[in-house]
Structures are given as C-alpha cells and as structure tokens.
Structure 1
Amino acid sequence: MSPAARIAVTGLGVLCSVGDGVTEFTESLRTGRSGLSAPGPGPAPGPAFTAPLRDFALDRSLDALRQLPAPLRDLALRTARRSPLPVQAAVTVALQAWQQAGLHEVAPPGDRTGVVVAGSNLTERYTEDSRARATPNPAYLPARYALHHQDTDHVATLSRVLGITGEGFTVGGASASGNVGLVSGARMLAVGVADVCLVVGALSDLSELQIRGFLTLGAMAVADAGNGGPGEHPAAPFDTRHRGFHPGQGAACLVLETEESARRRGAAVLGRLAGHAIALDGNHLADPSADGEARAMRAALAAAGLAPRDIAYVSAHGTGSPLGDATETTALRDLFGEAADGPWVNATKGLTGHCLAAAGVVEAVAVMLQIREGFVHPSPGLDKPADPGCRFSGPVAARTDIAFALSNGFGFGGINTSVALAHPDT
C-alpha cells in the first residue's frame, strides 16, 4: 500500500454495558469494570450472566454529543426514533465517531464516503416480537416492518442521517463480523472508491430462539452449569471456570480514512489500521482451528510489515469457551512463544460480554484507547488461567507503551480474522 493510501483511524464510537461513548468506556477499561450480571430466574435454564445496555435512550445519547449541529441531531432523531434498538445503537455510535473525526465540520463529498455495517441476522428479535404482535391481528404489524426486518436498514438509515452516497453494505462473519467489517472498510479505501469509511459493528439483540440455540449448542454459559448462582462472579475468558460465553449488547464504530484525506481535513489521527487478514478453515462447524487462527495472525503481521516481536499487546477473541480458549492460547504460543517473551493478552469480553457481530469493532475501539492511553486493561475473574503459557493481564491495569497490537476475531464455520492496529506515531 502506498503512503497516500495508509489507513488512519480518526473517529471512535462505542455503546455497551460499560460505556456510552469513549470517555466512559475508557474509564471502565482502565478500572476493569464489568457489565456482567446474573439475569435472574426464568422459565427455563438461561444464560449464566448477561451484559445488557442499561437505560439507553436515543435522545439522551444524542444530546450528549454537544458539538453536533442541531439539524444533524434532529435529523438523526426523526429518522431513527422508531427504528429497532440495533439501528438506534448504530446511529448513536456512528454520530459519536463522526463528531470525534470532525466530519460535522469538514467532510469529503458524500460520494467519497462509505459505510460498512458488520453483522447478519440482526433483526431476529424484532421479527420475533413483530410476529407476536401481528398474530392476533395483522393490522398490528408495524408499517415499516418490510424495511426494518432487513439488515440493510442499518446501511440505509446511516446513509440518510449522514448524507453518505458512496458505497455501503453489510458483511457477515459470525463472531468475526466486526473484523470482517474493518477489513472491508480498509479495502474500500485502498482501492480508491472512498476517502472515508465508517465501519459500524451492529448490536445483536438476541431473540429467545437465538439464545436457546446457543445454549443447546453449548456455546453460551448456562445458569445451571455451576454459573450464575447467588454470590457467584463470572469466570473470565481463559480461567479454569469458563463454561461458555456470556452475551453482551454493544455497538461500535471506527472512522477509517486515508491519511491523505485526514491531512486535507486537518483531522487528528488517533491511530492506524496497519494490517489485516481473513483465513478460512474449510470447516462448516463450530470447532476452531489453532492452525487457522495462527495463519490469520501471521498474515495480518505480514500485511503490516511486522514481526511477532513488534506486538506489545493482543486483544484475544477469548469468549470463555473451554475449547475456544484452549485453541487460541495454542495459536498464541505458537506465534509468540511462552509468557515471559510474549505480548500482553486480555479479552474485552470479560468486561462487555460477547457482543457477537459487533465484538470485533467494540474490541478495536478498546485496543485504540489502550494504545493511546498506554495501558492494558485488567482481567477480572481470571483467577486461575487454564493455560499459563500466555502473559495475561492481572487484576489491575498494566502500564505499558503499545506501538502495535493485534485484535483477533474468530467465528463459527472456521472464519479466522486478525487486524493489526498501531499508535499514530508509528
């Protein structure tokens, strides 16, 4: 990639159980504040712990963006106030990132701006709820159901609110969707079809059927498997008590921009997307492959022109699945060696829960904040690592300079991804 096409990060947005905006999210990362809690008894064994959004309101979140012009804020509210929760969350994080990037003041033409929404099957909860409303009487079906039940409603709404008239689409890669979105956005810029691209990790608002499916598969930690009882604390990813993932609600956005465009606009560069890779396993099931994960990390390093020794920190995929955690630590040790010689490792899902389609973008925001602030967030609940061969973060934040980091995302069906993120001064 030519220097003119180097990919800068100029804006960040995040909405999850431990933060509405980067300021609150940064403090939660620094202190290791977890959004996980036991959801309480239900009609059937359910998730052991969840990390839902708490008290989210679109108007309140938009009011917090005080630099946004009032017409833009009002347009966003009018457009999305009756949209499903995932679309409202997407608008919120996109506007947070839009404001930080200064795009409300100086932006390229609309046809030089693109948007990628990471995630698929995002509206099953909305569909399930709409079916329940419409079954007694079809007249109760929402008038815009045919629009809202499609994942592309995210793209269309963001296009309307932000005046984006360049390329836009959704991408899916199961739990690797966020990283697939970042790769797709970077490629959009690299081939020259846009100067700025918003990559939005879409909130997964799980339906009861989706929750039951994850529990049946054994991927989600169930409350009757020694988790979620009174007084219990959730096990962190990579701890010997792990029993599966804890679902979290979250959305996030990165503004990716060519460095040439950032210079023209006078935008502050927060960091860089230095390299990326996607590697498939040739597998349609849920079991991961250490070889595939290591191949993705090596390819991301090669794309960035980096060696393993250059990486100071790895944001692990780390879902809390015993098999998944063991596979990833095997891949990490294969690439980086044993703990004393390797980079710091943590898993943001231990704080936010598993944000599923949005996880890769939420975690990329977390990595960028830790690079900028010079720390690695704690791993509460990682009391006894199942594999001591990695340099896991401890109960408090570790101060460290991070020039380069990797952020991993691995999805069902053997979809392995890794992105290399860099300090702006590299």
Structure 2
Amino acid sequence: MQRVVITGIGAISALGTGADANFSAAFAARSAVGPVTLHAGSHRIEGCAAQIGFALPDLIRKADMPLFDRVAVLAWCAASEALQQAGLDHDAAAQQASGVFWGTGMGGAQTIDNAYIDLFIDHKTRVRPMSIVASMNSASAAHIALRAGFGGTVNTYSSACVSSAQAIGEAFRHIRHGYAERVLAGGSEALLTVGVWRAWEGLRVLGVTDATHPERTCKPFSLDRSGLVLGEAGAAVMLESLDSAQRRGATILAELTGYGASNDATHMTKPDPAGQARAMRMALREAGLAPGQIDYINAHGAGTLAGDLAETHSIREVFGDHASALMVSSTKAVHGHTLGAAGALEFVLTVQALRQQAVPPTAFLALPDPACDLDYVALQGRTQQSLRAVMSNSFAFGGSNAALIAIPFI
C-alpha cells in the first residue's frame, strides 16, 4: 500500500481565484452569494446564487474556446494552479505517467442550454458545431489531460453532489494500490442557466432570498434556514505516492489517509443518517484512526431542513461522545452549493484548515437550530487550533455519500 500525499491544490469559485483567496474569504465569512439574473429568450429569472462575477484567468486561446463549456474553463483554472504548485507543469516524464480523475454533476450545462435556445427559442435549424464535444461530461477531464500532457488513466465521475469527492477518493485508491504514481483529481460545475435553475426550483429545495441581506440567504444548521443556494466552481488536488513526491523533491502539503463511499439505498432525495455514517466509518477505518482523533469536519451542510438534521444525526452516530468536542462547519454559506465541484472545493478548504491550523466558520449561524446541536463554529473562524486529522463530507441525491480524511505530513 502506497502512502498518498497532496503536492498541489487549486480552486476558483465566486469567492475568488486561487486556493488561498478562497480560504481567506471562507475564513473571514465573506459571502459571495448575491442576486443574479438569468436570461433565455423571453425567459427571465431573478434569484440568489454564488455566481463568479469577475473575469476568469486568461488561460485558453480564443481559437480554442468553442471546444470549452464554462465548466471546462473552470476545471482548467483550478487544475493549472494545482499543476504549477506541484511542479508538474514542466516535468515531461512525470506527465506521461500521470492521470486525471474528475467529477461533475451536469457537465456542459451551458452548452446544452444554448443548444435548446438555438432550436426552440430562436428557431434555428442547427446548433453550434462543437456542442457535443463541449457538453459531454468527460470534456473537463479530457481537456486537463490534453493540456497537462497526462498520458495515464483519465476517468470522469458523475454522482451528483459527491462527484468530485468520489473522484478524489478513487484517485487515492488508484495510487494507494499501485495503479499510478500521480493523479490530478477534482471537479467543476457551471450550471447557472435558466433550464437548470427551473429544474432546481421544481424540487423546492432552493433557499428563499433574504430580503434584507441577500448574501446571507444560505444558512446551514440555522433555525431559519430555507434551502440551498446554487454556486459554480472548480477545484483540484494533485495526488502522488509518497515515493514519487520525495523522488521529485516536491513540497508535500498534507497526506490523504482515508476515503469512504456508501449509498443509502433508501430514497432518491431524502438523506439517510445510517448511509452517511457508513461512509465516515469506512474513511476512519482506512485511515487507521479512532473517531476521537478527528478534530474538524467540513460538513456537507447545504442548508436544507432535512439534510442538515440528517448530517447532525450521522455525525453523532459515528463519533459518539466525541461529537460534542468536534468542530464542524459548512463553508457553503459563503460559496454556495457547487454540486459536482463541492467535494473538491470543500476538501481543498479542509486541507488549508489543516495546514493553517485554523477552522473556517459557518457564516450567518446567528440562530442555531436546537436539533442541530453540534459545535458548528458559528459566525467566526478559529485560529491556533491543534488539528491532528480533518474530515470532509459530501452527500448527494441518489443516496451517494463520501468522506475524505487528511492529516499533516510527517
């Protein structure tokens, strides 16, 4: 069994460009949620989301842009940062023996929406020539592999909100069992379109916009929470075997030691604490850790009534008496629910919490739900902590659950 370490991280979300910018904003409880307006012909939507409102890094030639849906652009923004930090953007031999495991819930949603607008609103007889290439779920992983020169295994995971956590976990196993020395893993999502928004509205799980403070619309674990807020993002981690990292002289950021994956097998949309607990226990077992050795959990915490309560119960089931001593927080309050990218973005933030020994807060938790009775690090982050091991949880429609554990590299 190979030890698996992290040698690079990257992130882009409505919080900003770069992993450091994202952590700084999350720690400061600086919300990126706000009013958005979406158009499609005569259709107009006004709502609240965590939309990236700034110019994206100029990393792709204009001539290549027709091949890229926005989800793939976000993917490459995050991946290129992780690659550069890992020092793999100029190592030809290592590149050929490296792979890409990427997650996305809906792939090229904007390309698909544009095709429907062309056909059914503008009454065109054809769609844009590169629509298939841009919209396929595997496009992001393919673009990363092509641009990074990675000739190893390239896999795409699409399991709703656990997609990128699953991609990271399966990449961890791929390296741990000796199938590869290096895998760039993560996920991206860009689904702020009229069609996707209307579909989420139909489920009645979107939060009601806070009329006074729209930036506070997402309130995980709060008594007045009303639902999730959609966001867009890309996030990546460069995973390597310890032997590979040491041989290259790479800087090791942390060690990934545990991954658990389960399915509720009970309901398509209603979360089951027992299924969530199985994933967390599997991650603990693989990491060789007792529940009492976890000091912080980055919760799935989407801000839904049922989801936040179920996660509270599952954490209590797994951690027992230690649950009351655990620090738990949800950063979705400030960057929204980025769906297929959520697991990767939140794992990147969790790794940074471990490295800085600082825990980001659950923003806007001024009125805690008495039924969500854990230490949810309300309102303000905490510095100078003694974090020995940290966990990141991701849960999804369809019943999929994933948990990842990281420790400082020693």
**2:185 equivalent to 1:202:** no
SS of the aligned residue for 1:237 comes to coil
**2:167 equivalent to 1:181:** yes
Q: Output the CA distance in 1 between the equivalents of 2:323 and 2:5.
A: 32
SS of the aligned residue for 2:309 comes to helix
Match of 1:413 in 2: 398
Per-residue CA shift, 1:265-312, capped at 9, x if unaligned? Answer: 000110011100111111341000011111111111001000110000
Match of 1:396 in 2: 380
Q: CA deviation at 1:165?
A: 1.1
Match of 1:242 in 2: 225
Match of 1:309 in 2: 292
Match of 1:327 in 2: 310
Per-residue CA shift, 1:63-108, capped at 9, x if unaligned? Answer: xxxxxxxxxxxxx536753321111111111100000111124364
Q: Output the CA distance in 1 between the equivalents of 2:109 and 2:251.
A: 38
What one-letter code is carried by the residue in structure 1 that aligns with 2:294? I
Match of 1:220 in 2: 206
Match of 1:161 in 2: 147
Q: Output the CA distance in 2 between the equivalents of 1:250 and 1:175.
A: 13
Q: CA deviation at 1:45?
A: 10
What one-letter code is carried by the residue in structure 2 that aligns with 1:126? T
Relative to structure 1, is the Cα distance of residues 420 and 214 closer, same or farther in structure 2, using a 3 angstrom cutoff? same
Relative to structure 1, is the Cα distance of residues 141 and 201 closer, same or farther in structure 2, using a 3 angstrom cutoff? same
How many residue pairs get aligned? The number is 403
Q: Output the CA distance in 1 between the equivalents of 2:286 and 2:92.
A: 29
**Among 56, 61, 65, which residue is 1:81 paired with?**
65
Match of 1:278 in 2: 261
Relative to structure 1, is the Cα distance of residues 278 and 47 closer, same or farther in structure 2, using a 3 angstrom cutoff? farther
RMSD: 2.2
Match of 2:6 in 1: 9
Match of 2:179 in 1: 193
Query: 2:11 touches 2:235 (CA, 8 Å); kept in 1?
Result: yes
Per-residue CA shift, 1:218-262, capped at 9, x if unaligned? Answer: 2222x4xxx332445324200011111000111100111101000
Match of 1:38 in 2: 35
Q: Output the CA distance in 1 between the equivalents of 2:220 and 2:51.
A: 18
Match of 2:111 in 1: 126
What one-letter code is carried by the residue in structure 1 that aligns with 2:200? F
Match of 1:348 in 2: 331
SS of the aligned residue for 2:118 comes to helix
Q: Output the CA distance in 1 between the equivalents of 2:407 and 2:226.
A: 33
What one-letter code is carried by the residue in structure 2 that aligns with 1:19? G
What one-letter code is carried by the residue in structure 2 that aligns with 1:402? L
Query: 1:235 touches 1:382 (CA, 8 Å); kept in 2?
Result: no
Query: 1:244 touches 1:320 (CA, 8 Å); kept in 2?
Result: yes
Relative to structure 1, is the Cα distance of residues 46 and 295 closer, same or farther in structure 2, using a 3 angstrom cutoff? farther
Q: Identify unmatched segments of 5+ residues in structure 1.
A: 63-75
Match of 1:57 in 2: 56
Q: Output the CA distance in 2 between the equivalents of 1:338 and 1:243.
A: 29
**2:136 equivalent to 1:150:** yes
Relative to structure 1, is the Cα distance of residues 89 and 318 closer, same or farther in structure 2, using a 3 angstrom cutoff? same
SS of the aligned residue for 1:383 comes to coil
Q: Give the stretch that moved more between structures: 158-167 or 332-341.
A: 332-341
Q: Output the CA distance in 2 between the equivalents of 1:79 and 1:153.
A: 17
What one-letter code is carried by the residue in structure 1 that aligns with 2:186? V
Query: 1:339 touches 1:389 (CA, 8 Å); kept in 2?
Result: no
What one-letter code is carried by the residue in structure 1 that aligns with 2:374? C
Query: 2:187 touches 2:236 (CA, 8 Å); kept in 1?
Result: yes
SS of the aligned residue for 1:109 comes to helix
Q: Give the stretch that moved more between structures: 100-109 or 18-27.
A: 100-109
Q: Identify unmatched segments of 5+ residues in structure 2.
A: none
Match of 2:276 in 1: 293
Relative to structure 1, is the Cα distance of residues 107 and 26 closer, same or farther in structure 2, using a 3 angstrom cutoff? farther
Q: Output the CA distance in 1 between the equivalents of 2:160 and 2:218.
A: 23
Query: 1:58 touches 1:81 (CA, 8 Å); kept in 2?
Result: no
Q: CA deviation at 1:14?
A: 0.2
Match of 1:71 in 2: none
Alignment of 1:255-266 (within 5 A): 255-266=238-249
Q: Output the CA distance in 2 between the equivalents of 1:339 and 1:384.
A: 24
Give the percent of matched residue pairs that are identical in Structure 1 and Structure 2. 26
Query: 1:262 touches 1:268 (CA, 8 Å); kept in 2?
Result: yes
Q: Give the stretch that moved more between structures: 119-128 or 358-367.
A: 119-128
SS of the aligned residue for 1:398 comes to coil
Q: Output the CA distance in 1 between the equivalents of 2:43 and 2:170.
A: 40
Normalised TM-score (structure 2): 0.92
Q: Output the CA distance in 2 between the equivalents of 1:29 and 1:401.
A: 19
**2:343 equivalent to 1:365:** no
Q: CA deviation at 1:197?
A: 0.4
Q: CA deviation at 1:368?
A: 0.7
